[in-house]
Amino acid sequence: MPRAVWNGVVVAESDDTVVVEGNHYFPPESIAREYFQPSQTTSVCGCKGTASYYSLLVNGQENEDAAWFYESPKPESANIQNRVAFWKGVQIEDS
């Protein structure tokens, strides 16, 4: 089962991820919300639409904008709507 780990803590875990461009997109119910803080950052992908970000706060350390999601993706990317993907040192492991 894929899991996202940062700073020694599992921040998401699910056997229902969607892989797009090598990134695992975790369902929103699979993330450990206590570690996620909303960010004001957004970015635009020509294929998927506008991404919003979360920063992670784990064991007193912050990883700014380490997770992203598409609240309203383009129709061709509807399968990742509200799913969360990671970067910036967050490791995706198979448990």
Q: What is the pLDDT of residues 26-44, one digit of tens each?
A: 999 999 999 999 999 999 9
CA count, 13 A, side-chain hemisphere, 50: 6
Strand residues in the chain grouped as ranges (E): 2-6, 9-13, 18-20, 23-25, 36-45, 49-58, 61-69, 84-86, 91-94
Domains, the chain, ordered by start? 2-94 (2.170.150.40)
Average pLDDT of the chain?
97
Residue 62 confidence (pLDDT) above 90: yes
Residue 69 confidence (pLDDT) above 90: yes
C-alpha R_g of the chain: 12
Residue 95 confidence (pLDDT) above 90: no
For range 68-79, the mean pLDDT? 97
pLDDT at 7: 96
DSSP 72: S
Q: What is the pTM of this model?
A: 0.95
